[in-house]
Amino acid sequence: MITTIQYNSRKLKIDLTKPLDISIPLRGNDTNVNAWYIDHPTIKPEVVDGDTISVTEGASVNFNTINFNPHAHGTHTETVGHLTEKSYPINKHLKQFFFLAEVISVAPEVYLKDKVISAKQLQFALGNKKRDALIIRTMPNTKAKKSRHYSHTNWTYFREDAIELLVRKGIKHLLVDTPSIDREEDGGELRAHRAFWNLNGNIREDATITEMIYVPNKVNDGTYFLNLQIAPFENDASPSKPILYKILD
């Protein structure tokens, strides 16, 4: 179904029957993507009064309990509440769910023993484009990202000046395919997170970071219409399902 949407001052034509899902599904075993030194998620039938509530065990329904951490176990969207004493639940602070977004692919630079994304790279990729959301695919891009165990791998991260550039460009929603925009081990400084939410000034309460996405290679760099779906958790982060739609000519 092709529809025309009025978004700010632009009219966007999109085909709602052709969504491009860039989330990673959650699985209850060790093939699930993982980070931050904890075990994999579990999805297990609940046991009530000694009875396993599963159709395969003779019950009339399936009744699974899921144990996971949104920051460690897949695609998730977070607010500034990830860093603050004050609560900023994602369910209250993400109030809009459709955005004009740009997809870019970036090959990280080598900095000492790290792989980083710099302001220069982002400026080259974005130019003068004005977007509400930015989706960054790091290169190389393989399906292994959907099941990688990231702990102790020193993943690619963003230099502070790169994030400051995005803030100046008005990017409100940043989506990346790594477990964090910061270095895995940085002594708790979290400079990129702090810069994105402007923790030392007027906090950007309506800005979000989405981590551990996977952008398939069939999704070309360019401009898309983004539907950023979350579960209604009263928590700083929620599992999320970002969906892209091509903008038709």
Kindly state whether residue 40 falls inside one of the protein's structural domains.
no
Angle between helices 119-126 and 160-168 (to 10 degrees): 30
Kindly state whether residue 212 falls inside one of the protein's structural domains.
yes
Whether 146 has a pLDDT exceeding 80, the answer reads yes
Could you give the percent of the chain with pLDDT greater than 90?
Answer: 97
* The token pair that represents 143 in the structure block: 């399906």
Q: Could you read off the pLDDT of 183-242 as tens digits, one per residue?
A: 999 999 999 999 999 999 999 999 999 999 999 999 999 999 999 999 999 999 999 999
At residue 39, the pLDDT reads 97
Q: Could you read off the pLDDT of 157-181 as tens digits, one per residue?
A: 999 999 999 999 999 999 999 999 9
Q: What are phi and psi of 83, to 5 degrees?
A: -120, -5
- Domain range for 204: 2-26+70-248
Say how far apart CA 180 and CA 159 lie, in whole Å. Answer: 12
Q: Could you read off the pLDDT of 2-17 as tens digits, one per residue?
A: 999 899 888 999 999 9
**41 with 67: CB under 8 angstroms?**
yes
Q: How many domains does the chain have?
A: 1
Kindly state whether residue 52 falls inside one of the protein's structural domains.
no
Tell me how many degrees the CA angle 97-137-114 measures, rounded to the nearest 5.
125
Kindly state whether residue 63 falls inside one of the protein's structural domains.
no
Q: What are phi and psi of 103, to 5 degrees?
A: -100, 125
At residue 232, the pLDDT reads 96
At residue 144, the pLDDT reads 98
Say how far apart CA 214 and CA 93 lie, in whole Å. Answer: 24
169 burial via Cβ count (<10 Å: 0-12, 13-18, 19+):
middle
**CATH number, domain containing residue 97:** 3.50.30.50
First CA to last CA across the chain, in angstroms? 15
Kindly state whether residue 118 falls inside one of the protein's structural domains.
yes
Kindly state whether residue 47 falls inside one of the protein's structural domains.
no
At residue 53, the pLDDT reads 97
The answer to whether the bond into 70 is cis (omega within 30° of 0) is no
Kindly state whether residue 15 falls inside one of the protein's structural domains.
yes
What rounded mean pLDDT belongs to the chain? 97
* The token pair that represents 112 in the structure block: 């000492």
**199 with 164: CB under 8 angstroms?**
no
Q: Could you read off the pLDDT of 17-38 as tens digits, one per residue?
A: 999 999 999 999 999 999 999 9
Kindly state whether residue 35 falls inside one of the protein's structural domains.
no
